[in-house]
Structure formats: C-alpha cells, structure tokens
Amino acid sequence: MSDLLQLHVHDLEVELLTGIYSEETHLPQPLRISLTVDLDLPERFEPDTKLTASKSYIDLRHAATTAIPKDVHFTLIEGIAEHICDTLFVSDARVRRVEVKIVKLAIAEKGESIGITLVRNRR
C-alpha cells in the first residue's frame, strides 16, 4: 500500500441549476459540497517543504465552486460530482482519488442530509 495525503474541504455551500422536477429546473438549488482528495506525496514533509509538494486547498474549493458552470443545468447531482472530479484530475496528475459528497439542502425537512457520495479513482 502506498502512502498518500488526504486533503479535505467540507461543507461548501453553493447554488447550482440541478433537478428533474419542474419546481427545480428554473432556479438554482442550494447544495452542500464536501471533498476528500487523495494525493501522491513526497518522501517526507520537512519544516521547509514548499507548497508545491502538496496542493492548495483553494484549488479544491475552486473545483467545487467557481469551476462549475452556473448556466448549465445538471439533471442529476451526480453530474456535478463528475464535473468536480474531472476538474481535479485534469488540474493535477498527483490526484489519485476524489470523493465528492453533495447534500441537497432544499429537500431536507428536519435537518437530515439527503444526497450522494461519488468516488472516482484516476484511470
């Protein structure tokens, strides 16, 4: 088993066009997105290790927010998760695995988390 570094960005709230029901198809839906990204890592992280040995959390945040087109309607939230995975795989060859959790906030009635988790490995 290889060593790896897991980066986490959790509980980002975004509004995106998604859904299959008529009441969902015209307005952006509030979503909560969380990411866990497995990254190849150097032999060791010393006190003076440069940021380039890891990955900026801003890149993860970008993949789950501003990198998603606001004018595209995603029928399924799974499509949003795929877009996030693709963005991260294309942006950095060290990304080995991406886990995306998306919770649909608008359909929760009593604070429950309703949504999906998609896990993709680099092929």
pLDDT digits (tens, 9 = 90+) for 87-115: 999 999 999 999 999 999 988 888 889 99
What pLDDT, on a 0 to 100 scale, did the predictor assign at position 51?
Answer: 85
What pLDDT, on a 0 to 100 scale, did the predictor assign at position 42?
Answer: 81
CATH (one of 3.20.20.370, 3.40.640.10, 3.30.1130.10, 1.20.1440.230) for 5-42+53-121: 3.30.1130.10
pTM for this predicted structure? 0.92
**What whole-number distance in Å separates Cα of residue 85 and Cα of residue 95?**
10
CA separation, residue 52 to residues 29, 84, 87, 94, 117 (Å): 35, 21, 18, 11, 28
Token digits of residue 27: 């307005």
Residue 119: count of CB within 10 angstroms of its CB: 13
